[in-house]
Amino acid sequence: MGKTVESYRMALEDEIHRWSGFAKALRSEDREAFEALMDACRSYASAGSNATQPVLFEPMVISILLSQQKKIMRLEKALDAKRQAQTS
Protein backbone atom coordinates (compact mmCIF):
# COMPACT_ATOMS: atom_id res chain seq x y z
CA MET A 1 0.00 0.00 0.00
CA GLY A 2 1.06 3.57 -0.64
CA LYS A 3 1.63 6.27 1.92
CA THR A 4 -1.34 8.03 3.40
CA VAL A 5 -1.33 11.72 2.59
CA GLU A 6 -1.92 13.86 5.66
CA SER A 7 -4.96 16.10 5.69
CA TYR A 8 -4.65 19.72 4.67
CA ARG A 9 -5.39 20.84 8.23
CA MET A 10 -2.59 18.67 9.60
CA ALA A 11 -0.19 19.86 6.90
CA LEU A 12 -1.21 23.45 7.63
CA GLU A 13 -0.48 23.07 11.34
CA ASP A 14 2.89 21.52 10.49
CA GLU A 15 3.70 24.47 8.22
CA ILE A 16 2.63 26.98 10.86
CA HIS A 17 4.80 25.14 13.38
CA ARG A 18 7.76 25.41 10.98
CA TRP A 19 7.39 29.20 11.23
CA SER A 20 7.46 29.18 15.05
CA GLY A 21 11.10 30.30 15.19
CA PHE A 22 10.26 33.27 13.01
CA ALA A 23 7.25 34.10 15.19
CA LYS A 24 9.30 33.90 18.39
CA ALA A 25 11.81 36.40 16.98
CA LEU A 26 9.10 39.02 16.40
CA ARG A 27 8.24 41.84 18.74
CA SER A 28 5.04 41.32 20.71
CA GLU A 29 2.76 43.40 18.47
CA ASP A 30 4.24 41.83 15.34
CA ARG A 31 3.79 38.36 16.82
CA GLU A 32 0.14 39.18 17.48
CA ALA A 33 -0.27 40.21 13.82
CA PHE A 34 1.53 37.05 12.67
CA GLU A 35 -0.80 34.90 14.77
CA ALA A 36 -3.80 36.69 13.24
CA LEU A 37 -2.48 35.79 9.79
CA MET A 38 -2.07 32.15 10.79
CA ASP A 39 -5.61 32.19 12.19
CA ALA A 40 -6.78 33.44 8.79
CA CYS A 41 -5.13 30.38 7.23
CA ARG A 42 -6.96 28.16 9.70
CA SER A 43 -10.26 29.92 8.96
CA TYR A 44 -10.03 28.98 5.30
CA ALA A 45 -8.67 25.46 5.83
CA SER A 46 -11.72 23.84 4.24
CA ALA A 47 -11.29 25.91 1.10
CA GLY A 48 -7.55 25.27 1.14
CA SER A 49 -8.11 21.53 1.28
CA ASN A 50 -10.30 21.79 -1.81
CA ALA A 51 -7.71 23.81 -3.73
CA THR A 52 -5.53 20.71 -4.18
CA GLN A 53 -2.45 22.85 -4.63
CA PRO A 54 0.84 20.97 -4.63
CA VAL A 55 2.47 23.79 -2.67
CA LEU A 56 0.88 24.27 0.75
CA PHE A 57 2.05 27.86 1.04
CA GLU A 58 -0.05 29.01 -1.93
CA PRO A 59 -3.49 28.44 -0.35
CA MET A 60 -2.08 29.89 2.88
CA VAL A 61 -1.20 33.14 1.10
CA ILE A 62 -4.56 33.27 -0.68
CA SER A 63 -6.32 32.73 2.66
CA ILE A 64 -4.38 35.62 4.19
CA LEU A 65 -5.11 37.85 1.21
CA LEU A 66 -8.80 36.98 1.31
CA SER A 67 -8.98 37.78 5.01
CA GLN A 68 -7.20 41.09 4.49
CA GLN A 69 -9.46 41.98 1.54
CA LYS A 70 -12.57 41.31 3.62
CA LYS A 71 -11.24 43.61 6.34
CA ILE A 72 -10.48 46.34 3.80
CA MET A 73 -13.96 46.06 2.31
CA ARG A 74 -15.56 46.22 5.78
CA LEU A 75 -13.52 49.30 6.66
CA GLU A 76 -14.35 50.98 3.33
CA LYS A 77 -18.05 50.30 3.88
CA ALA A 78 -17.90 51.72 7.42
CA LEU A 79 -15.98 54.77 6.19
CA ASP A 80 -18.49 55.38 3.39
CA ALA A 81 -21.38 55.11 5.86
CA LYS A 82 -19.68 57.58 8.19
CA ARG A 83 -19.04 60.01 5.33
CA GLN A 84 -22.67 59.79 4.23
CA ALA A 85 -23.85 60.41 7.79
CA GLN A 86 -21.66 63.50 8.02
CA THR A 87 -23.00 64.99 4.78
CA SER A 88 -26.63 64.38 5.75
pLDDT in tens, 22-77: 999 999 999 999 999 999 999 999 999 888 777 899 999 999 999 999 999 999 99
Pair 15, 60: CB distance under 8 Å: yes
Nearest-angstrom CA–CA distance, 64 and 88 = 36
CA dihedral 35, 38, 43, 45 (to 10 degrees): -160
Residues making up the chain, counted from first to last: 88
pLDDT over 60 (residue 1): no
Nearest-angstrom CA–CA distance, 14 and 45 = 13
Nearest-angstrom CA–CA distance, 78 and 13 = 34
